[in-house]
Structure 1
Amino acid sequence: MPLQRAEGTFTLSARVREGQTRRDVLRQGGCSRLLFPRRDETQLEAVMVNISGGLAAGDQLRHEVRCEERAELLISSQGHERVYRARSEDPPAVIQTICHLAPHSRLEWLPHGTIFFNGARLERSMTVEMAGTASFLFYESRILGRRGSGEQLQRLHVRDRLSIRRDGHPALEDSTIMTGDGLHEYLQQAPIADGACVETMLVLVDREAESYLPRLRSLLEDTGPEASFAASCWDGKLVMRGLARNNWVVESLMSKIVPCLRSGRRLPTGWRI
């Protein structure tokens, strides 16, 4: 029996007016909403809200973001996105996001993490087209199962892709595929995840990215035995990856890292750490 599906879409364009980044175009529909907290900063902040309460199999979300020249836009989320259990025959939920960054613009994509229930099905893609003088900061955390509820993640279907092009040339391609049964035992293996249930990735594409690397690595030294992180930088791209046994460790660390990479700006309004 077919189940009811949710659809959501938003289009947001940001432009500089009178020295501040402001909304230029805003369209939203279905279950996708954007909220705009009031902040005394030149940067515009938008908070994504999925009013359907989470993602079920077959849901469709499509987003488009455009930063005009010298615009500075921060996009976060109201809370952790949840991807609920699905039947094996159900189609996956789909999220497609396309971003365009004009010269000297900056986009910061800093949502809360995504929680995958046992049996979740999701295919997500993010495509970024940016000018060489633009700056892009990206953060994503995948929380595999609800360990606090005693859930073991045995079955999953996830295809997650990040594609960044700079001045029309490929800058970074990252794909994560997790599919099949028996994932709990697989993630327990030391060469794979050694029991970690949170996977984190942070990317900064910026001409000055290398200058942030020493400070970032110093922050990663204090993660303790519950997590393992590493960072590298090349060709104006800084990439940090990590595994942790609980999300609290990740969020505590990110509360220190994100202001560092945002030149001292405070955390997104939706973050409560």
Structure 2
Amino acid sequence: MKFAEAEIVNGPILQRARGIGRITAKQVDERTRLDTLFQEGCGKIRLPNTHSSSLEAVLINTAGGITGGDHLLWGAELAPDGHMVLTTQACERSYRSTGDFGRVETRLKVGAGGHLDWLPQETILFAASKLDRRLEVDLDEGATLTAIEAVLLGRDAMGEDAADALLRDNWRIRRNGQLVHAEATQLHATAEERQSLSLLNGNRAFASVLHIAATPDRASAIGDRVRAMLPADQAIAVSVNQSRLVIRAMAPTGLALRRMIVPVLLELTAAGSLPRLWHL
């Protein structure tokens, strides 16, 4: 028997998850409704029934988590004057990797005068996990955004701290093609990073919340309301720069973090409420 020439690979060839989910919305009688939906692989999107004029979409990774070499791509586009809420079915999980980073990319576009709430639930990093996460948002004139990304270092109930987990998290937000917000967060799995007073200070849960308002005056007014509700004895703070409002929060547990950030999100979302899946 004659075989074709081929490279011999030592060791197992591991199966990797691939998923794509994209959604676009249109305005119908002043209500935001589904226009197109595409899903492939482990990326699924479900549209729960709500009584709101906005469109709510739930992103689901049917692979059950992310590990090295996995790749998820989410996308959404909102018509002018529309309102969309994007959330996840549950906490995303980044599992142990034997090599590469797992990748999650999200690309969002908001038409003029529209508002998008990007409200995924927390991401749990497990021991030896490697996650590369990217968020890109394009806003048209007068469009607004509320976005959160929260991270838990291990599971509270199991006493995990995911001390060797690695994270790369990059945000790029543009309005009319001009960059208005950029940030890059990295976890390198060092003791100094986890314990330093200027970094995590021993906390195992942290979150970044971003709100892009229509005008600087609007951002300033919202910032004043948010500052008034923040507890003075907890690690949470807000800053306002032009039309941007940024909140950073840290807590020893995921539950404590959620209790801190839920009132802030209620103030910043267009609907003044959170998706049903957020309720414990």
Whole-Å separation in 1 of the counterparts to 2:146 and 2:199: 27
Equivalent of 2:244 in 234, 237, 248? 237
* Secondary structure of residue in 1 paired with 2:165: strand
Give the conservation status (yes or no) of the 8 Å contact 2:161–2:204.
no
* Letter of the 1:135 counterpart: T
Deviations 1:40-62 (A, max 9, x none): 11100001111111111111111
Higher mean displacement: 23-32 or 246-255: 246-255
Q: Taking structure 1 as reference, are residues 166 and 263 closer, same or farther at Cα in structure 2, changes over 3 Å only?
A: closer
Residues 1:103 and 2:112 are matched in the alignment:
yes
Equivalent of 1:17 in 6, 18, 28? 28
> 1:67 — aligned with what?
78
* Secondary structure of residue in 2 paired with 1:91: coil
Q: Taking structure 1 as reference, are residues 186 and 177 closer, same or farther at Cα in structure 2, changes over 3 Å only?
A: closer
Q: Taking structure 1 as reference, are residues 14 and 100 closer, same or farther at Cα in structure 2, changes over 3 Å only?
A: same
**Whose Rg is larger?**
2
> 1:28 — aligned with what?
39
Unaligned runs of 5+ residues in structure 1 are none
Root-mean-square deviation (Å): 1.5
Equivalent of 2:228 in 210, 218, 226? 218
Whole-Å separation in 2 of the counterparts to 1:31 and 1:178: 27
> 1:258 — aligned with what?
265
Give the conservation status (yes or no) of the 8 Å contact 1:152–1:184.
no
* Letter of the 1:269 counterpart: R
Whole-Å separation in 2 of the counterparts to 1:51 and 1:120: 19
> 2:142 — aligned with what?
133
User: Structure 2 length as normaliser, TM-score?
Assistant: 0.90
* Letter of the 2:119 counterpart: L
Unaligned runs of 5+ residues in structure 2 are 1-11
Whole-Å separation in 2 of the counterparts to 1:264 and 1:69: 17
User: Structure 1 length as normaliser, TM-score?
Assistant: 0.93
Equivalent of 1:41 in 43, 47, 52? 52
> 1:209 — aligned with what?
219
Shift of 1:263: 5.1
> 2:164 — aligned with what?
155
Deviations 1:170-207 (A, max 9, x none): 1000101122x4x3564123232221011110000012
